[in-house]
Amino acid sequence: MDKEPLHKQNNEEIEQTLALPSGVAISVRVVRQDDASALQRVHSRCSKRTIYLRFFGSLEELPDRKAKSFASTDGSNHLGLVALDPDDPDEIIGIVRFDRESDSEKAEYAALVEDRWQDQGVGTALTRILIDEARAKGIRFFFALVKGDNKLMLNVLRHLNLPEQEHQDKEPAVKRIEVELPS
């Protein structure tokens, strides 16, 4: 895999192609403002359980405001990467993003992968690229709020083999997982 950053200094967009363990090739790029409707569509293709685990409750549709927020990036403090459907490159099949805490080396990490693409390495592959991007921007730690029964998300984080700490959140069923990013 080419290690060239996805978000160049001059904001020129770069796209990478990743080979999943199954041999399927997917394109990855930085999320764009005009992806808001594609993010709403991927949300609509996710099961109620996937939405519940990601948003900690039901969310029938992704509101315009949230979709636009998820599609926003500044390339430094807020960055999102999307994986595109190999059969329809206008459709997003997964997104990972980080949002840096103010004046900090920590950033919140979040991910959503469409059900039919889960457990195929999409989330892990996207997260590895996001980690490279985050480290280049001075971020040393990711934290994620995860429902305790969200085994897929916990596995994505644990397959990275990074130093990890787990804390109980204020909400009993939610864990705060913090991982140290490699140098």
Residue listed under structure tokens 């990601």:
54
Please state, rounded to an integer, the average pLDDT across all residues of the chain.
85
Highest mean pLDDT among 92-101, 153-162, 170-179: 92-101
Assess contact for 67 and 37: CB atoms under 8 A: yes
Q: Which pLDDT tens digit goes with each residue over 2-20?
A: 444 555 444 446 689 989 9
CATH superfamily membership of 16-180: Gcn5-related N-acetyltransferase (GNAT) (3.40.630.30)
Q: Which pLDDT tens digit goes with each residue over 49-86?
A: 888 878 777 778 888 998 998 999 998 899 999 999 99
Task: Please state the three-class secondary structure of 96-161 as a single string.
Answer: EEEEECCCCCEEEEEEEECHHHCCCCHHHHHHHHHHHHHHHCCCCEEEEEEECCCHHHHHHHHCCC
Per-residue pLDDT, 174:
81
Angle between helices 122-136 and 151-158 (to 10 degrees): 50
pLDDT band at 161 (very low <50, low <70, confident <90, very high): confident
| Domain boundaries, given as residue ranges, for the chain | 16-180
Q: Which pLDDT tens digit goes with each residue over 121-150?
A: 999 899 999 999 999 999 999 988 887 777
Per-residue pLDDT, 172:
65
Burial of 83-99, coded b for 16+ CB within 10 Å and e otherwise, reads bbbeeeeeebbbbbbbe
